[in-house]
């Protein structure tokens, strides 16, 4: 591949391999756009050329040349699937040919005009004949009849002009639909091929495909992060726009999570890989997008059915007009108007535009049906923990029961010294609180951990037990009945309690609370404004605690003391009541409810099973993303309804004008195609997520 022409910030390359029609152009464009400084890419397979616009930085120019001379060959092996084509490379050659022919008509003899006209329109007539034989009466049949009738009657200008308008409409429709697909596929940024990883105490460069969970990688300025992981050391600004839609870089340091597909703009990080390969966020996004391109919603199917039905309406009306007037011009004018293009193409383009806008704002829809179901949802059901609350516990009370030498500070130190050997959220909260107070570590023997119960150890020859009340009273025979008044007061306040015992006697307790998300109340109000009628909360909390939270947030209905296995039953009950249900959850035990709902929504910190079961995955851990998803769905459905009404009204008016002889075939084709193109362009523009709710922090 060589440089054919160069301007400041623009390079044009030539190579015979670029003429290969089997290359997946969108994949190659995405690979090039992932390079630093590349702004725009355009392939021209007819001219075997590639045009790249960049920022003019010499280092970025050299990186581009290196990529084309090195990795380009490997990336171009990504081939189109059988039956696919690079539709975005469609050319308006037939439109230009028709325009030139119209200028030539006046100077050609009669035979020349006839030969030129039939040469141009023969493909469209042949296509109509094939469609009639294989699929029955479709739009292509009506178009070929209209153009063929004009040519047969010697109305060569009308035939060629009509042909040109039909080709112009088809070209623009093709470009618009391909652009919608391209927007989605351009989100599929290829991961870097190599990265630096620590092996045997040294940094070595390996292929990203060889990474495994647990590897420690190094990422520097300008690098694309290839894995999901946790920062071990370093400090950096990371651009997460490709995943969450955040326009400003986010500061990352020790303990923070990072996502694949994000770019390190400044600094350096050492990262522990937690998800690699097909398990990463970028891979999940890719699967969602590929599924989205293949799935059709009920609205899309309905639009296609209505469009096909209206072909028969047009054909029948044309027959009536000809029977009444014997006017072939009117017949041709009627045949050139169909409802199919706007209805069949406008709907999927609007949905694909919404899928793209959602993905760039941290919202992954599993196809158009998810958008449709969310737009129609009137009942939102929240699993409390991790959705309305942060899911992060904090210690609010430390209470000693008067044992000698054990004040509250010492009690917290004891609990933290033992709990630091555990990995569950309660243990993390206890250790975090103790570190705030610079706790003194208390020496103890080996810790025995009983899953879902508690921990036991020895301190200075005395047995220490930490865990739930059930564990201490039923398994360790330590009674806390004498302290019921204090315990019940904390429980009524919605606290989670951790009990401690020393040598078979109550020592004290720690109270923890899962804090409500600061944005939760406003988000619920925004959802009501977006058309949600019922806000419902599921929780395992006691009724009084659940009611208090519901009153604080403005929730309509609460299902308290709800065990995990009953969540799906509650959702089914709501569906049986006639409600269209959206369920929002993040746990493994939320999967049945996510599946039972009309639309299941998984929070970003959700378990893998919850994400797999969900119709929508939020990538940004902020509830305003949920409001954006609802508004985007509502506005997309409104846009589809608007286009349906506009296209039906305009095309009906054009048919009426054609039937009464007010419009000739050229004007009929012009108005019909103009309306179709208008609908498609408006669908492509799609809807905008309002900036004031895109990022409320």
Active site residues: 383
What span, in angstroms and rounded, lies between the C-alpha atoms of 359 and 365? Answer: 8
Chain centroid, CA 7 distance in Å: 37
**Contact between 557 and 534 (Cβ < 8 Å):** yes
Please report, for residues 49, 591, 592, 624, the alpha-carbon distance to residue 606 in angstroms, rounded to integers and kept in the order given: 46, 10, 14, 17
Distance CA 565, CA 572 (A): 12
With a CB cutoff of 8 Å and minimum separation 6, the contacts of 422 are: 447, 449, 455
Token pair 């970003």 in the structure block, residue:
604
Q: How far is CA 333 from CA 313, 337, 647, in A?
A: 14, 7, 17
Going along 240-335, which residue ranges are E strands?
A: 250-253, 257-258, 263-275
Residue whose C-alpha is closest to residue 255's, from 232, 273, 276, 275:
232
Judged by DSSP in three states, 515 sits in strand
Q: What stretches of 445-571 adopt beta strand conformation (E)?
A: 448-450, 454-459, 462-467, 496-502, 505-516, 534-538, 557-559
Residues in a beta bridge with 197: 204, 217
Which one-letter DSSP state was computed for residue 471? Answer: I
Residues paired with residue 203 on neighbouring β-strands, in sequence order: 198
- Packing angle between helix 93-104 and helix 110-134, nearest 10 degrees? 150
| Kind and range of the H or E run holding 486 | helix 484-492
Q: Which residues pair with 362 in a beta bridge?
A: none
Residue 594 and residue 588: Cα distance in Å, rounded? 10
Task: State both tokens at 589.
Answer: 């035990």
* Lookup: tokens for 230: 């946790």
Q: Which residues contact residue 348 at a Cβ distance below 8 angstroms, ignoring those fewer than 6 apart?
A: 177, 180, 296, 300, 368
Q: Please give the angle made by the CA atoms of 425, 427 and 428, to the nearest 5 degrees.
A: 65
| Structural tokens at position 164 | 């040109």
Beta strand ranges found along 366-519 (DSSP E): 379-383, 389-400, 448-450, 454-459, 462-467, 496-502, 505-516
Note whether 533 and 381 are within 8 A (CB): no
Q: What is the 3-state secondary structure (H, E, C) of 616-670?
A: EEECCCCCHHHHHHHHHHHHHHHHHHHHHHHHHHHHHHHHHHHHCCCCCHHHHHH
Task: Render 336-351 in DSSP notation, one character per residue.
Answer: T--SHHHHHHHHHHHH
Distances (CA, A) of 34 to 210, 276, 697: 21, 19, 29
Rounded CA separation 389/690 (Å): 25
Contact 677, 669 (CB under 8 A): no
């Amino acid at each position: 591949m060589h440089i054919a022409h160069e301007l400041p910030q623009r390079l044009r390359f030539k190579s015979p391999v670029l003429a290969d029609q089997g290359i997946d152009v969108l994949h190659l464009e995405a690979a090039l756009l992932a390079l630093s400084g590349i702004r725009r890419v355009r392939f021209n397979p007819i001219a075997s050329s590639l045009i790249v616009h960049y920022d003019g930085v010499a280092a970025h120019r050299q990186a581009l040349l290196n990529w084309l001379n090195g990795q380009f060959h490997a990336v171009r092996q990504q081939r189109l699937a059988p039956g696919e084509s690079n539709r975005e490379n469609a050319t308006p050659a037939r439109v230009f040919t028709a325009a030139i022919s119209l200028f030539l008509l006046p100077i050609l003899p009669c035979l020349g005009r006839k030969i030129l006209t039939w040469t141009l329109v023969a493909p469209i007539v042949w296509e109509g004949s094939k469609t009639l034989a294989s699929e029955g009466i479709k739009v292509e049949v009506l178009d070929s009849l209209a153009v063929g009738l004009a040519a047969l009657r010697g109305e060569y200008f009308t035939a060629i002009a009509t042909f040109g308008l039909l080709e112009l409409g088809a070209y623009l429709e093709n470009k618009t639909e391909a652009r919608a697909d391209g927007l989605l596929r351009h989100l599929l940024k290829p991961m870097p091929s190599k990265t630096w990883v620590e092996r045997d105490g040294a940094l070595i460069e390996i292929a990203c495909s060889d990474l495994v969970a647990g590897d420690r990688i190094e990422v520097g300025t300008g690098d694309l992060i290839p894995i999901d992981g946790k920062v071990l050391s370093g400090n950096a600004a990371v651009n997460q726009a490709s995943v969450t839609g955040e326009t400003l870089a986010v500061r990352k340091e020790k303990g923070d999570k990072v996502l694949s597909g994000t770019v390190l703009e400044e600094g350096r990080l050492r990262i522990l890989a937690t998800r690699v390969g097909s398990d990463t966020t970028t891979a999940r996004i890719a699967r969602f997008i590929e599924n989205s391109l293949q799935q059709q919603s009920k609205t899309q199917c309905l639009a296609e059915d209505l469009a096909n039905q209206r072909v028969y309406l047009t054909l029948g009306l044309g027959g009536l007009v000809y029977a009444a007037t014997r006017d072939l011009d009117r017949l041709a004018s009627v045949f050139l108007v169909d409802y199919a293009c706007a209805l069949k193409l406008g709907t999927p383009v609007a949905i694909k535009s919404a899928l793209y806008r959602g993905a760039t704002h941290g919202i992954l829809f599993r196809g158009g049906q998810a958008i449709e179901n969310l737009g129609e949802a009137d009942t939102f059901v929240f699993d409390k923990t991790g959705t309305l609350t942060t899911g992060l516990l904090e210690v609010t009370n430390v209470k000693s029961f008067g044992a000698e030498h054990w004040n509250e500070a010492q009690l917290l130190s004891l609990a933290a010294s033992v709990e630091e050997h555990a990995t569950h959220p309660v243990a993390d909260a206890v250790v975090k609180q103790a570190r705030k107070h610079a706790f003194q570590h208390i020496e103890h023997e080996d810790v025995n951990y009983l899953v879902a119960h508690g921990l036991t150890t020895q301190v200075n020859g005395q047995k220490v037990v930490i865990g739930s009340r059930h564990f201490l009273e039923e398994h360790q025979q330590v009674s806390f009945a004498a302290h019921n008044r204090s315990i019940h007061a904390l429980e009524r306040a919605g606290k989670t309690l951790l009990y401690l015992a020393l040598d078979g006697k109550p020592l004290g307790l720690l109270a923890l609370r899962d804090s409500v998300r600061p944005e939760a109340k406003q988000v619920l109000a925004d959802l009501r404004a977006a058309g949600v009628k019922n806000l419902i909360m599921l929780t395992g909390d006691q009724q009084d605690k659940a009611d208090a939270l519901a009153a604080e947030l403005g929730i309509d209905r609460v299902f308290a003391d709800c065990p995990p296995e009953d969540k799906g039953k509650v959702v089914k009950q709501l569906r049986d009541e006639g409600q269209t249900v959206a369920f929002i959850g993040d746990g493994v035990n939320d999967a049945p409810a996510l599946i039972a709902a009309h639309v299941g929504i998984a929070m970003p910190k959700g378990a893998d099973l919850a994400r797999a079961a969900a119709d929508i995955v939020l990538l940004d851990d902020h509830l305003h993303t949920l409001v954006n998803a609802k508004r985007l769905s509502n506005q997309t459905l409104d846009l589809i309804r608007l286009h349906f009404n506009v296209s039906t009204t305009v095309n009906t008016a054009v048919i009426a004008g054609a039937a009464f002889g007010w419009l000739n075939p050229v004007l009929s084709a012009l108005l019909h195609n103009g309306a179709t193109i208008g609908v498609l362009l408006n669908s492509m523009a799609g809807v905008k997520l309002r900036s004031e709710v895109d990022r409320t922090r």
